[in-house]
Amino acid sequence: MSTAPAPDLVSRALDGDRVALARAISLVENEAPEAVAILDACFGRSGHAYRVGITGPPGAGKSTLVARLAQEYRGRGQTVAVVAVDPTSPFSGGALLGDRVRMGDLAGDPGIFIRSMATRGSLGGLAVHTAQVCDVLDAAGFQRILIETVGVGQSELEVAQTADSTAVVLVPESGDAVQAMKAGLMEIGDVFVINKADREGADRAAFAVNSALELRQRVSPWQPPVLLTVAARGDGVDELADRFEEHLEFLRDHGGLDRRRRQRLEQRLGDLVRARLWSDFEASLPEGAWREHVDALLARRATPHEAAARLTAGARGGGGA
């Protein structure tokens, strides 16, 4: 059962009160008793923001690129929320978004809201509650939500499941494009970026990515562009924003936007149902039943399928031993 938040917390958060918004997000991220009520209150007002994922290997300059992209969108009159997934600890008030762009460059803009989230040991780069936090930011009226991953583990797949469009950021160094192909990044990217393109080998890297894209099996008429950027100087960021907007229009015109969002909701609904079923199942087991079945497996007195059948039958019937 959910606990209602303070009566005006959600309304203040959705009306632009940054302190209330940060508090609401913290309650969601920490799975506080009020979290479900907050999410339920926000859900009906969400579904309008364009969610852009930025992923790629560590050291590709994703954070600087995200900061520049946020500034570009602000220059176009759009409000922006940035969700930066931090592999170690949540944002504490210092520098964020890379070593070249100071937090102060963004923090003073009322049209930008930045939230850092810890991965909390997740196998992927995205925090568990990133999609829910995006819903809150969406409901708060932000038009563009930029989601940056740490670029490790399964973060690439996770960001593709969370975003409407995904950019894969690489650098010219030898082997980076090849590693991206091996890691499956070529399958999820809607836009590819060779950042730090002032370094030697940028054109070769772009050619390698384009060649790989031509060889992959086409599942969509969209041909991902390969762009060159120097995020530290802001070079190419305007074109990146243009390509994202083109992809958004493409998705709208071809039904891809609704399809991707439907897949997201199906995944979330499935996760919630599985979590509830598991919780109910655990609560229904007699004390010690789980351990007894594991002991039976260790002793080879039962097979895993037999144990599972007995446990689930027992849970339905009120006994599990």
Q: Are 149 and 158 in contact (CB under 8 A)?
A: yes
Q: What is the β-pairing status of strands 191-194 and 165-170?
A: parallel
Token readout for 146 is 């930029």
The predicted structure's pLDDT at residue 261? 94
Q: How many other C-beta atoms can be found within 10 angstroms of the C-beta atom of residue 296?
A: 15
CATH number listed for the domain at residues 45-254: 3.40.50.300
* Residue ranges in the chain whose pLDDT is less than 70: 1-2, 4-7, 86-105, 119-128, 151-157, 174-184, 314-321
Residues 211-250 have pLDDT tens digits of 888 887 777 899 999 999 999 999 999 999 999 999 999 9
The predicted structure's pLDDT at residue 203? 94
- Residue extent(s) of CATH 3.40.50.300 domains in the chain: 45-254
The predicted structure's pLDDT at residue 95? 34
The predicted structure's pLDDT at residue 102? 41
CA distance 272 to 289: 25
Query: pTM of the prediction?
Result: 0.86
Phi, psi of 16 (to 5 degrees): 105, 5
